[in-house]
Structure 1
Amino acid sequence: MKFRLNRLSRKKRERLIPPIQIQVQDGKFEIMGMGAWYFYWRDPYHLLLRIPWTSFLILISAFYVTINALFALAYLIGGDCIANARPGSFLDVFFFSVQTLASIGYGAMYPKTTYANIIVTIEAMIGLVGIAVMTGLAFARFSRPTARVLFSRVAVITPHEAMPTLIFRTANKRRNTILEAQMRVYLMRDEVTQEGQFMRRFYDLKLLRNQTPSFTLSWSVMHVIDEFSPLYGMTSESLTQTNTTLIISLSGIDETVAQVVNARHSYGANEILWNNQFVDIFYHTPDGHRYIDYNRFHDVLPLE
């Protein structure tokens, strides 16, 4: 009987999990709603960390007004229990609640009955806990390290050192340095096993250089397509048929905040251009200096 109840409760919990929708859009294999903040409503902490700042401030303000309104009603139930407050005045007891919750204590209004002192004690405790929680949430939102990394809109397959090579660009948009930056590239595509089972398979792509001690300006990431590469023998049509997607993951230590930062990007099959090359963005000045023109960062040219 106990086992049956556990099975029933487990099935009930599983029904509460919404179905996951998967689709291929613009050549990318995507999970619908992935990363959307409103899917975290069952996890309040992560919800408050993921919602936009405007929504966060609105939600906190609504909660603040609501809690003070509830305590104001509690004071009204006690009758004339607040000194110097107009009898039956909701505004007076509301602003007295605001003063109590924030531990302001101007002294003009104060509790004068045992009932009012009990409510004040409860509200003071809730105020201390609430301020601690809100401070922690605000600090957590401010202290989250973020990376401003630019990825080229497309990746290209072009000869490099007489070998077909997958290349894409990335650049650090901040005027600082990402230390010990590491780049990882994964290939995902649909496959059918020898047993006839469909699966979405992952492959690690070996890069010519997968890390750099100092990522400051730009980085051309390269993968040689040899006989050991998952891209060996593939064509533009086969990439589309197998819903191939490249997943890019960059991590490193932000020199400014001394914390690990991450950035990611993806390329669909239609964003991998064959027999194209990136436009050179390095230029020389007449006095011998070099500079980078980021205006042409995404530009490509077809091979002759």
Structure 2
Amino acid sequence: MTTNKPVQRRIVSKDGHNNVRIDNVEGMVKLYLHDIWTTVVDMKWRYKLTLFASTFVMTWFFFGVIFYFISMGNGDFEEVLPSNHTACVENAKTLTGAFLFSLESQTTIGYGFRYINEECPLAIFTLVAQLVITGLAEIFVTGAFLAKLARPKKRAETIKFSRSAVVCRREGKLCVMVRVANMRKSLLVQCQLTGKLLHPKVTQEGEKTLVHQSSVNFYMDSSGECPFLILPLTFYHVLDESSPLVGLTADNLLTRDFELLVTLNATMESTAATCQSRTSYVPQEILWGYEFKPVLFSNNNSRYVADFSFFDKVQASADSMFLSNNTEKLKLEEEYKKE
């Protein structure tokens, strides 16, 4: 008989997406309309493509209806017309013809069969207004379209974090380690890995905070920044007295209630734009007494090779401190690695 393991609530998913649902916000639609640019840029692609197409179709139809009523008011649709009658829009006798004239005008196809007469100032004014208004609308929609394509968010998706974090010794100090890699050949410069520990806390006044944030400093060698990210790197956090994870042991790791949010901020060398990638680790994803397997090798051509088949693999630490860990804890970690 198998028992269901309790599901660990997460604020940030493994792929960096926000898991917090926003409810009962008064005037949400008004807030979104106030920042219409961000709203349009953040739209999903299916909605953005629909908006892109409907912007053209609706403006063609809207101004086509206006031209149709202008022609109707000018008497262009009468069965019997005076010999000296001048139509506002030549050869646009139906709503379909007015729609086609609007389409030809807005897309600058050029005039041939349908055209405006110079003796109809209202139609001329409407044409000018159409080109100005629709030009601004097309600039907005096309700009939002391109802005979504160029967002650094897509570049951040090519940054890979290790599936689990490990706890082992580094230079005699007990550390939490995570591995980060750049999956593209283009460099990421001025990289900085920061962490936040999200956990419940009770203040001295007795107020219970469901999610309290504490800073977790990660280092690589002697600093928190690396000049560029070209090789898979391991960042570590020292579990000393200043750490919010102080007191963490192999015995209480799985009973602790926290989420370790890890964020990598970097600048793209090609565009100088800043990108950010995130992931999080819950206690079940932190392996005590393990270390990452080497992922960087050299071949016969005097080149370094990063073998990503070893990126998420770990091995038991040879440190004597971890050899005395209880058997059940190691068994649980082995089960997690097999999942």
TM-score greater than 0.5 by the shorter chain: yes
CA deviation string 1:171-199 (max 9, x = no partner): 00110211121111121211101211012
CA distance in 1, matches of 2:170, 2:164: 17
Q: How many percent of aligned residue pairs carry the same amino acid?
A: 24
Gaps in structure 2 of 5+ consecutive residues = 1-5, 13-18, 23-27, 77-86, 318-322, 324-339
Give the counterpart letter for 1:203 in structure 2.
S
Confirm or deny: 8 A CA contact 1:28 1:269 kept in the other structure. Answer: no
CA distance in 2, matches of 1:219, 1:295: 15
Output aligned runs, 1:38-187, within 5 Å: 41-42=32-33, 43-78=35-70, 79=72, 80=76, 81-88=87-94, 90-112=95-117, 113-145=120-152, 146-147=155-156, 148-187=158-197
Give the counterpart letter for 2:139 in structure 1.
A
TM-score in terms of structure 2 length = 0.73
Question: Aligned residue for 2:309?
Answer: 295
Secondary structure, in 3 states, of the residue corresponding to 2:181?
strand
Confirm or deny: 8 A CA contact 1:102 1:127 kept in the other structure. Answer: no
Distance 1:207 1:32, change over 3 A: closer
TM-score in terms of structure 1 length = 0.80
Confirm or deny: 8 A CA contact 1:177 1:254 kept in the other structure. Answer: yes
Question: Aligned residue for 1:5?
Answer: none
> Is 1:205 aligned to 2:193, yes or no?
no
Q: Where is the strand percentage greater, Structure 1 or Structure 2?
A: 1
Question: Aligned residue for 1:13?
Answer: none
Give the counterpart letter for 1:57 in structure 2.
L
Confirm or deny: 8 A CA contact 2:232 2:295 kept in the other structure. Answer: no
Q: Cα offset for 1:240?
A: 5.7
Question: Aligned residue for 2:82?
Answer: none
Secondary structure, in 3 states, of the residue corresponding to 2:184?
coil
CA distance in 2, matches of 1:239, 1:203: 18
Confirm or deny: 8 A CA contact 2:182 2:230 kept in the other structure. Answer: yes
Give the counterpart letter for 2:215 in structure 1.
D
Secondary structure, in 3 states, of the residue corresponding to 1:29?
coil
Between 1:44-53 and 1:184-193, the stretch displaced more is: 44-53
Q: Cα offset for 1:278?
A: 1.6
Confirm or deny: 8 A CA contact 1:29 1:268 kept in the other structure. Answer: no
Give the counterpart letter for 1:122 in structure 2.
A
CA deviation string 1:146-170 (max 9, x = no partner): 3321111111112222322100100
CA distance in 1, matches of 2:260, 2:144: 35
Confirm or deny: 8 A CA contact 1:207 1:223 kept in the other structure. Answer: yes
Q: Cα offset for 1:289?
A: 4.9
Distance 1:153 1:241, change over 3 A: same
Q: Cα offset for 1:27?
A: 4.5
Q: 2:203 aligns with which of 188, 193, 197?
A: 193
Gaps in structure 1 of 5+ consecutive residues = 1-23
> How many residue pairs end up in the alignment?
277
